[in-house]
Amino acid sequence: MLKPLMAGNWKMNTTIRTGADLVLKLRDLLKGVEDVDIVIAPPFTSIYHLSHLVADSRIKLAGQNMSWEKNGAYTGEVSAEMLLDAGCRHVIIGHSERREYFKESDSDVNKKTLAALRGGLRPIICVGERLEEKESGNTLQTVKRQVTGALDKLRPGAVKEITIAYEPVWAIGTGKVASPQEAEEVHIAIRELLFEMFGPDVKDVRIIYGGSVKPDNIDSLMAQPNIDGALVGGASLKAEDFARIVGFKPA
Ligand code: PEP
């Protein structure tokens, strides 16, 4: 079994002060946890401040997005170098909210993934089907297209640095979670695809699940052999809930 990765995506929530309160609570609650990688993705404006609060803890920081450009006249954008400099080791790329509201394409996700790796960040690449794609039986086709697109031109050796987050769009923020079996089936398909693309190196690639993960469903999700962790939205804003998710007990 791979070491689980539990990531909290705070989205556009928290100020520096409320984010600091949340991190201090989390640090306390997570003291005994040893065998899980823990990542939080606060808003850009809080990252540097929070980097000091997590410095001597197991919590690592992620950006929620980044530009594929290195620097220059791109008003409002943030580069890999800036995220690294502020204290991030990871970056979320291609979240469905970026794809939907900001029209990010598979090719944009690919450019960001390659730029993140070049810049020394570990990308957490989000894929997942919309409700209409699920209902028309196109889940696997959609997810495979997104994974193939995101990883175009990736050096085979770099695949070890990535994480794929399978996040069915219909499950994000809706309270509707994919059943553990439904999620497992997609995770297996992603693993097989990665193997076809990159060979045995993919044995170390974590495929995590996201979409209404809560304390009461994490145990059954983590009992699936191909679910290697979770990307958590809403529940990551409550220290007790996120700590319970991180400290899951496979059912
Ligand atoms: C997310 O946005 O990545 C997510 C999974 O959100 P939620 O847990 O709130 O469904």
Q: Could you give the 3-state DSSP secondary structure of residue 248? A: coil
Which secondary-structure segment (H or E) carries 6?
strand 5-9
- Per-residue pLDDT in tens (0 to 9) along the chain, 251 residues: 899 999 999 999 999 999 999 999 999 999 989 899 999 999 999 999 999 999 999 999 999 999 999 999 999 999 999 999 999 999 999 999 999 999 999 999 999 999 999 999 999 999 999 999 999 999 999 999 999 999 999 998 999 999 999 999 999 989 888 999 999 999 999 999 999 999 998 999 999 999 999 999 999 999 999 999 999 999 999 999 999 999 998 77
Residue 11 near residue 42, CB atoms below 8 Å: no
Q: Is the CB of 9 under 6 A from ligand 1?
A: yes
The model's pTM is 0.97
Task: Give CA torsion, residues 247, 233, 144, 107, to 10 deg.
Answer: -130
135 is catalytic: no
Task: Identify the structural domains of the chain with CATH numbers, from first to last.
Answer: 5-246 (3.20.20.70)
- 96 in contact with ligand 1, CB cutoff 6 A: no
H/E run at residue 8:
strand 5-9
CA 146/CA 144 separation, integer angstroms = 5
User: Which stretches of 90-236 are DSSP H helices?
Assistant: 96-101, 106-118, 131-135, 139-150, 180-198, 218-222
Per-residue pLDDT at 101:
97
H or E segment at 165?
strand 163-166
* 245 in contact with ligand 1, CB cutoff 6 A: no
pLDDT at 225: 96
The answer to whether the CB of 227 falls within 8 A of the CB of 208 is: yes
